[in-house]
Amino acid sequence: MRGSLLTMPPVHLYLLSFTLLYPVVQGVNDRPIIGIITQEVSDEVFLQYGKTYIADSYVKFLESAGSRVVPIRLNLSEDEYVHLFNSINGVLLPGGAVNLLNSSFYGTAEIFYKLAIEASFSGIYFPIWGTCMGFQILTALTSGKDLLCNTAANNISLPLILTDDVSSSKMFRHAPLELLHAVAKENITANFHHFGITPETFHANEKLSAFYHILSTNYDRHGMEFVSTMEARDYPIYGVQWHPEVNRFQWRSDSAYPHSIHAVWISQYMANFFVNEARKNTNYFLNPKEEESALIYTWPLTYTANISGYEQVYFFD
């Protein structure tokens, strides 16, 4: 059957990958809600709108796979975060720019990271996803250190150099062969980062190497190799140094946002995968009123394509 996938049209492969990711299972949560942690505004242009924000591309990324979104605002009490953890079905740590170890974002992410691991011992499946900065935050949460080095990988799209662990990974083991071939050969993973972690540093840190499998690496403009995709061995925790959300939801012409058929496919595949992970969690809000008030849709969107790479942004505080 695997060999026959190569002869299938892309639309059939997409439907097959969706079916493999979404087997019909009783008790699966068909109304998942995923939290996105807000981050402090670092661009002065954004300060006129609010002190913290979430780019709409991350919201649309999750919505496209059937999830709703709750903003996780900074500087709430730990009790409030615990209550929110028990009400939602997963967390996404977005890309951006914050101090890796000394920021409100890191402190908030740390609470949810620890709660997710603790919950797993009680059989509660709570997935976490990190994109770019979120990926870097995950490496710091696990290792307790800032292990990043300079990488010249801003505004460039690349193919992934897949490792042997891909075939047994949760993230990619059901991916159609055509999609894996595309992601390994075509420039469809968008990179917008100045820092990364080398495989040597990753493997040298016992906490990181024991916690995660490396699923892919890349080389920056100067030939430095960096880890680009990772997956926790024993927990539903995932990190990508690249940006799958931009392939479908960001359009600035001077930015390396890939929009080919395969670029859109890998973006949708990743969204489907993570939201499917969130479907395995059955947390819920105490009542419909509390759920409604927590959702991001009660906040206005601001058009920002004229001042940033984001089409629209939710601002808070």
Catalytic residues: 132, 243
How far apart CA 186 and CA 308 sit, in angstroms, is 26
Using a 10 angstrom Cβ sphere, with 0-12 exposed, 13-18 middle and 19 or more buried, the burial of residue 7 is: exposed
Count CB-CB contacts under 10 A for residue 228. 26
Run of H or E including 158: strand 149-158
Q: DSSP letter string over 31-85?
A: S-EEEEE-EE--SGGGGGT-SEEEEHHHHHHHHTTT-EEEEE-TT--HHHHHHHH
Q: How far apart are CA 132 and CA 242, in angstroms?
A: 6
Neighbours of 47 (CB within 10 A): 11
Q: Which of 154, 125, 149 is nearest to 136 (CA)?
A: 149
SS3 at position 161: strand
Give the ranges where 186-294 is alpha helix by DSSP (H).
Answer: 199-204, 206-211, 246-249, 261-278, 288-294
Helices 104-120 + 78-85 axis angle, to 10:
50
